[in-house]
Structure 1
Amino acid sequence: MKNWIGRLLGGAEKETVAPAPVSATLTFDDARTMATEVQATYYRWLTGSSRCTASPEQEAQILREVRSLAADPVCASGLVPRIPELIAQLLTSLSDENISTGALSAQVGRDLVLVAEVIREANSAYYRPVTPIETLEGAVTMLGLNGLRMLLARIAFRPLLRVTTQGVARQVAPIVWKHAERCAFAASVMAPGLSAGVFEAYLSGLMQNLGLQVAFQVADRVCEGKVPGSGEFGIAFFAASRELSSVIASHWDFPPDVVKAIAHAHEPEGSHPAQALALGDRIATLRLLLDAGVIGDDDPLVMQGLNGFERRCLGKLLELSE
C-alpha cells in the first residue's frame, strides 16, 4: 500500500487555479455552529431507518472501540481492502511527466473496464468536450496527466469505501463513497485560495471517509444491526472516524499535510490544508442534503454558511458524473 501512495504523489502537476476566498460573512462561532448543524443533519439522514435509541453505555462503547482501533494502525489498516495491481502500475507511469499519450493509452487499454471509465470521464459535463470523445487516446489527451491521476485515485479508493460486509456499513456505503468523491473535488477547488496543495487536498477528501466505514461496522455490531440515532453522537462518531482515517493514512505513508488535514479539519485553528478539507467536507455534505431534498437552496446553511465562491463550487458538484 505504501508503494502505490508514493507512485500517486510522485508526478503531481502544478495546478493553476484561481484563488478561492474563504467564508468571511460569519463570525467564527457562527460558522462553527453551522458546520456542526450540517454534520448532525447529515448523520441523521445518512443513517435513516437504521437509527435506534441507544443507551449512553452503547454510545460510549462504540466511540471507545473506534478510538482503540486508531491506536493500532496495523490492525485498523488490515480492515480495508487493497487496490488493484494495474492501478498501481499506471500510477508509476504517471509519475513520469515525459510519458507519451500513446504509451499511457496502451497501458490503460489493458483493462476494458478502465477504458470505459476514462472515456466516460472525458465526456462528462465537467470536461464538456465540443464533440463526443470516442477513442481512448483522445480521452487521455482531454484529461491530461493530473486529470488522469485524479481519476485513478478515485478508482483506487472506490473498493476501499464500498465494503462487502452486511448491515449498516453496507447500507450507507454508496452515500459515503458519493460524499468522498464530492469532498475530494470541493477540497481541491478550495485549496489554492488557502495556499494548500491541490492534489493533496483531493487525496484528503477521498481518504477521510475510510475510517467511517470501519466505524459503522463497530456501531452495527454493538447495536445489533442499528446505530445510535442522535445527532450529537453522530458528530462525535464522525470525529472518531476521522481520527481513524488519519492514523491509517499515516501508516500508509501519506504526506504529512494529508494526515494532519484529516485529523484537524474541524478544529478551530486547523492548518490551511485542514481548512480546505473542512470546507470541501461541508460543501459536499450540503450537496448531498440538497440533492436528497433534506434542505432547500435557500436554506441558511447554504445562503449564510457559504460565500459566493463556495456556492459556485456547490453548483459545480452537480456536474460530477455519477
Structure 2
Amino acid sequence: MTIARMTPASSSVTPSSSAAERFFGGHAALPVMPEVGRKLLRSLDDDGVSLGQIAELIGKDSTLAAKVLRLANSARYSPSHTIGTLQDAAMALGLETLRNLAMAASISGSFPVVQGLDRQKFWRHSVRTAGHARLLAKLLQGDADTAYLAGLMLRTGQLMMAMTDATQVADVESHASEPGSRFSLEMSRFGCTHADVTAALAAHWHFPADLIEAFKDTNAPLDVRPFSMLAAILHLAEVIADAADRELDAIDALKVAVPELVEHLHMDLDFLRLRLEGAGDPGQDVELMLK
C-alpha cells in the first residue's frame, strides 16, 4: 500500500479548491495532528508492522492510550474480560481494528469544539462514514485501510468551515434533511464543499496527492475522469452515514441519492444490506472516544 505515505502533494487548482483555501486564514488556526497520529498513518504503508509495534506507539500518548482502552472495553467489541493494557487490546482486537480506533481517537482529538456543529453527532457520523467506507472498499476491491482513514477525514473540512462561518454551516446542517444533500447545499452557499476543504486540509498536512484528489472528486465522482473508486466509496459511505443519522433505510437512501453511481458500480444492494446489518453501528460508542 502506498496511498498512506505522508509526502508533499501537488494538485491542480480548481474554483472549488480556491474557494476552500479561504477557510485557512484569519481565526481558523490549522489543526495540528499529534506525532503519534502521524506515525499511525505512516504505518499503513508498512506491511511489516506488528501488533506490538502499534501498541507500543499508542502507549507513547497516555491520553490516546486511555481512549483506546475505553473503546476496546465498549459494548461494540463485547470483550469476554476486562482489557487492562494495550497489549491485551492488541490481542483482542487485532492490528487493523486497534490501529483504526487509535487513528479515530487521534484525529478527533486534533480538532477543537466549534460552533454550529454538535461534536458528538459530528464524530459519530465521521466514524460511521469510516466504517462504511471500509466495508464498501472490501466489497468493491478497494484498499480498506485507506478507505477507513479517508472516511474518517471526509467531513473534517466542515470543521474548518465552521471555525470561519459557524452560522452558515449550522444553516446547511438544518436543511440537509436528505442523505447526500450536504454536498449541493454547501456548493450553493460556499462555492465548495466540506470534501474540497478536507482536500485542502490534507494538502496542508502533506497527505499524498492521490488521497487529496479523491477528496476533491467525492462531490460528484461520476463527473470526474479518470474515475476514482475511492471518491465513489466516500460518497456512498457519507450517504449511508446520513441515513443512519436520520434513522432511514440505507439502501433506500442510496437508491434515491445516487442511483447512477450504484448502477455504474453494479452494486448488489441486497448483499450490501446484509453486510451493513452484520457490521452493526460503527459509531455506537463514539462518546468514549471524545472523553
Report SS of the residue matched to 1:285: helix
Residue 267, structure 1, aligned to residue 221, structure 2: yes
Residue 235, structure 1, aligned to residue 181, structure 2: no
- Give CA deviations for 1:145-196 in whole Å, capped at 9, x if unaligned: 32232122212210344x344x32xx43332222111101110110123232
Report SS of the residue matched to 2:32: coil
- Counterpart of 2:245? 288
RCO higher in 1 or 2 (8 Å CA, sep ≥ 6)?
1
- Counterpart of 2:273? 311
- Give CA deviations for 1:17-68 in whole Å, capped at 9, x if unaligned: xxxxxxxxxxxxxxxxxxxxxxxxxxxxxxxxxxxxxxxxxxxxxxx9x865
Q: 1:249 to 1:125 in 2, by over 3 A?
A: same
Task: Show structure 2 runs of 5+ residues with no match.
Answer: 8-14, 258-267, 287-291
Q: Is the 8 A contact 1:180 1:206 kept in 2?
A: yes
**Equivalent pairs, count:** 250
Q: Which of 187, 194, 198 pairs up with 2:140?
A: 194
Q: Is the 8 A contact 2:134 2:145 kept in 1?
A: yes
The structure with the largest alpha-carbon Rg is 1
Query: Matches of residues 1-322 of structure 1 in structure 2 within 5 Å?
Result: 6=5, 68-71=18-21, 75=25, 79-88=29-38, 95=46, 97=48, 99=50, 101=52, 104-161=54-111, 163-165=112-114, 167-168=115-116, 171-220=117-166, 227=171, 230-231=175-176, 235-237=184-186, 240-265=193-218, 266-269=220-223, 270-290=227-247, 295=248, 297=249, 300-301=252-253, 307-315=269-277, 316-318=279-281, 320=283, 321-322=285-286
Q: Which moved more, 1:228-237 or 1:178-187?
A: 228-237
TM-score (norm 1): 0.62
Q: Which moved more, 1:134-143 or 1:104-113?
A: 104-113
What's the RMSD between the two structures over aligned residues?
Answer: 3.9
TM-score (norm 2): 0.68
Shift of 1:86: 4.2
Q: 1:317 to 1:159 in 2, by over 3 A?
A: same
Q: Is the 8 A contact 1:67 1:240 kept in 2?
A: no
Q: 1:219 to 1:193 in 2, by over 3 A?
A: same
2-structure distance, mates of 1:233, 1:106: 39
2-structure distance, mates of 1:106, 1:264: 36
1-structure distance, mates of 2:146, 2:22: 24
2-structure distance, mates of 1:299, 1:96: 34
Shift of 1:139: 0.8
Q: Is the 8 A contact 2:17 2:200 kept in 1?
A: no
Q: 1:77 to 1:259 in 2, by over 3 A?
A: farther
